[in-house]
Structure 1
Amino acid sequence: MNHCHDPTQQLDLQQEELPRHEWDFSLLASIPSSSPSLLASDSIGSIAFSPCNSNSTRDSLLATAGIARKIRVYNLSSLIECVAQSQPLVSICTPAKLSNVRFRTGDVIGAGDYDGVVTEYDVTRGNGIAVSERDEHGGRRIWSIDYSSNGSLAASGSDDCTAHMWDPRANSDVLFETIPFTSPVCCVEFDPSGEPFFAIGCADKKAYVYDIRMVRHGPIQVLDRHTRAVTYVRFAGHGRLVSSGADDRHVLWEWSNGQCVREYTGHTSSRSFVGMGVWMHEGLVASGSESNEVFVYDLRWRRPIWIKGFTEHVHTAIEIENTRNRGFVSAVSWRQGTGDENGMLVAGDTHGVVKVFGCRRREQVE
């Protein structure tokens, strides 16, 4: 098992454990649940932004998906500017429950479903037209899909204990690689910076990093610290990776040497997938929690820098009683920008509520 080394361990522990609060967060928009009752679940399982090259929200798209068998696509600027108007730009009905969505281009979004199928939709055509479909995992649930930064490779991870990789541009069912495991694959991610690396989170409690140029040679690094399934893996830039486990922990790695740098605790994720994302440009980690809160961590400190409850509307007593132990924040996503230190975080919960938060770095006081 890798041992966690903190480069600040010579500092006073109490000082290291107290993060500086350098960011202000504000609610920009809230999308209510489309379900008429909490008893009919509209749980959000995945949130994705369309690719962007700047921090402008103009023409950017936001997509949500989950077990309601719908992909809802919103115009981000319209959503923020007209808070009262929260209707989706496109609402795509799908044949199966959805576990994960990712944009391949600004117009095409891929969806992995509970039936083991990856379907791509063109969101600019009608109410979303299916343009490709691949039965990747023989009817077994897909947990995660992703695309390389240039869209030339796609990957999926499944309950069938495999990760698949292929060229989504080719009109062929030929796989580029199949990576077998002994446990379900919970998460896959290409390095979004464009480097030729690929990470996998597995139910065997480990995270794996591959060089996509030589996948058949096996992983170039195995990261072993979690005590339960690794539910998410996210590259964090500068040779770092964050893994999230069903053990209430996120772990920061210097993955090239397998060094555990720091653990992050405070959120709760012992039974469910709660979402985890990294804002690479600013080194912030967001996650949901079974406590029905959004947590944000700065990679420099173990404890959260921001916690926000997700309570929405007051419902009837019977609805509250029946859902008291089931509601939690289940998906998060950062909008990756490279500009003026302003960010955007979107979170969704198991009741179908989606909230958009803006974050701005506080001015430094001399």
Structure 2
Amino acid sequence: MKNFSTKFHPDSHHHAKESHNQETRRQIKETIEEEEKARCEWDFSLSTIVSSRNNSTASISDALGVIEFDQTNSIVATGGIARKIRIYNLESLLPHESTSQDVHHTVCLDHARAGDYYICTPAKLSSLRWKPGSDGRVLGSGDYDGVVMEYDLERRVPIFERDEHGGRRVWSVDYSHCDPAMGASGSDDGTMQMWDTRSESGECVATVQPSVRRSAVCCVEFNPFGGPIVAIGCADRKVYGYDLRMMADPLFVLDGHRKTVTYIKFLDNVTLVSASIDGCLKLWNSDSSNVTRTYHGHVNSRSFVGLSVWRDGGLFGCGSENNKVFVYDKRWSEPVWVHESSSTGRDGFVSSVCWRQAGEDQCTLVAGGSDGILQVFQGRRKSQTG
């Protein structure tokens, strides 16, 4: 019997077929991605870069961890490792708006000149939130020392302080839109605590420990549409929703992420968006507790990179550990726009983002980096006839 083993390898045909299938799948994926990007209704451009004069020596000590627009959408507050709350007027960040300059020309500014003022804080900041109904005067913060504070920006002094998390880092703070005097904080101690700022001691109204193992509470958000729901994202990979009128047990549990949930945002009364260090975003229906869509593209395996939703436009913004800003349209799983940051650091990443909740045919996204650089992007709706 002849030996054909040197002439024919049984696996060779299989390998060739599998290689062809992989190439076909890659081409299909690329085609789908291009079609999705083509369907994007927006053109984005980088309008402004704000950095420090000594940006060449920027380090982790400059990292921006949080960016927040006030209720008028005209004031921006930032905070982070540098122990400063910086306040910017949007007009200062967008000089294009008041000049005849080409909108596609990027302006470079210095923090000292672009900012209105700053307030020094006793600890590194992990969260900021404007207090509803305060006309942009009161700003709440959570810090690495486990302390919640409020600042009167008109007088530039602290007016409220609460330290009930045993010195464990506060990751997130928010205010109820039904009763703005009521706030909540989520901490490494595994609890979300609700408190009343009308009490000098910040009286604890309720304490929730979502995880049996006391996993860290990384994000807290009240329903901004006025409903009695607060959503909590935890290190146990789940999102919990509680009815403020009955907090003994969660109203819903959203289970689908593979790692810590870092952000949770309401898109409407029943739709939420979550981010995780498993490298994806998820869109949820809280009524059914089901995942509607999963979004992939950005890189996120260890850090908080920011998540913000522009509700009117149906767009999500997030950072990435590969130093890029990503924009997703809620309708499609792949990003519709990606911009590489101008960071000078080798290991820099985009650490915070925030949409301006205003506009119909134009939008504004502000992103902050681990190097302290602030970037302002503007989007304009594409011409329907173009």
**Do these two structures clear the TM 0.5 threshold for a shared fold by scoring above it?**
yes
Match of 1:98 in 2: 125
**Secondary structure of the residue that 1:170 maps to in structure 2?**
coil
Answering whether residue 263 of structure 2 is matched by residue 244 of structure 1, we say no
Aligned pairs, number: 335
Retained in 2: the 8 A contact 1:47–1:65?
Answer: yes
Answering whether residue 231 of structure 2 is matched by residue 206 of structure 1, we say no
Which is worse superposed, 294-303 or 134-143?
A: 134-143
**Secondary structure of the residue that 1:78 maps to in structure 2?**
helix
> CA 1:331–1:40 in 2, change beyond 3 Å: closer, same or farther?
closer
Give % identity.
Answer: 49
**2: CA distance, partners of 1:233 / 1:109:** 20
Retained in 1: the 8 A contact 2:183–2:195?
Answer: yes
**2: CA distance, partners of 1:279 / 1:207:** 21
Query: Which one of 236, 250, 260 corresponds to residue 229 of structure 1?
Result: 260
In structure 2, runs of 5+ residues without a counterpart are: 1-27, 97-106
**1: CA distance, partners of 2:207 / 2:184:** 10
1:163-190 Cα shifts (integer Å, max 9, x gaps): 1112223334311111113200010011
**2: CA distance, partners of 1:238 / 1:141:** 29
1:205-230 Cα shifts (integer Å, max 9, x gaps): 101111122222x1111000011001
Query: Which one of 306, 310, 335 corresponds to residue 279 of structure 1?
Result: 310
Retained in 1: the 8 A contact 2:197–2:203?
Answer: no
Q: Give the CA deviation at 1:232.
A: 0.6
**Secondary structure of the residue that 2:215 maps to in structure 1?**
coil
Match of 2:46 in 1: 27
Answering whether residue 190 of structure 2 is matched by residue 190 of structure 1, we say no
**Secondary structure of the residue that 1:273 maps to in structure 2?**
coil
Match of 1:354 in 2: 374
**1: CA distance, partners of 2:60 / 2:194:** 35
Answering whether residue 287 of structure 2 is matched by residue 256 of structure 1, we say yes
**Secondary structure of the residue that 1:346 maps to in structure 2?**
strand
Match of 1:4 in 2: none
Which one-letter code corresponds to 2:276 in the other structure?
G
**1: CA distance, partners of 2:29 / 2:291:** 18
**2: CA distance, partners of 1:102 / 1:200:** 16
Retained in 1: the 8 A contact 2:273–2:282?
Answer: yes
**Secondary structure of the residue that 1:257 maps to in structure 2?**
coil
Which is worse superposed, 164-173 or 262-271?
A: 164-173
Match of 1:78 in 2: 92
Normalised by the length of structure 1, the TM-score is: 0.86
**1: CA distance, partners of 2:349 / 2:295:** 19
CA RMSD in angstroms comes to 2.0
Query: Which one of 130, 145, 149 corresponds to residue 115 of structure 1?
Result: 145
Answering whether residue 69 of structure 2 is matched by residue 49 of structure 1, we say yes
Which one-letter code corresponds to 2:220 in the other structure?
V
In structure 1, runs of 5+ residues without a counterpart are: 1-11, 314-322
Q: Give the CA deviation at 1:40.
A: 5.7
Match of 2:196 in 1: 167
Retained in 2: the 8 A contact 1:34–1:352?
Answer: no
1:116-155 Cα shifts (integer Å, max 9, x gaps): 0011111111xx2111111131100011111123523211
> CA 1:263–1:356 in 2, change beyond 3 Å: closer, same or farther?
same
Larger Rg: 2
**2: CA distance, partners of 1:236 / 1:194:** 13
More helix by share: 2
Which is worse superposed, 282-291 or 229-238?
A: 229-238
Answering whether residue 288 of structure 2 is matched by residue 290 of structure 1, we say no
Q: Per chain length, whose mean CA-contact separation is higher, i.e. which structure has more relative contact order (CA < 8 Å, sep 6+)? A: 1
Normalised by the length of structure 2, the TM-score is: 0.82
1:292-320 Cα shifts (integer Å, max 9, x gaps): 0000000000000000010245xxxxxxx
1:22-53 Cα shifts (integer Å, max 9, x gaps): 1111223221146551346200000001112x
Which one-letter code corresponds to 1:332 in the other structure?
V
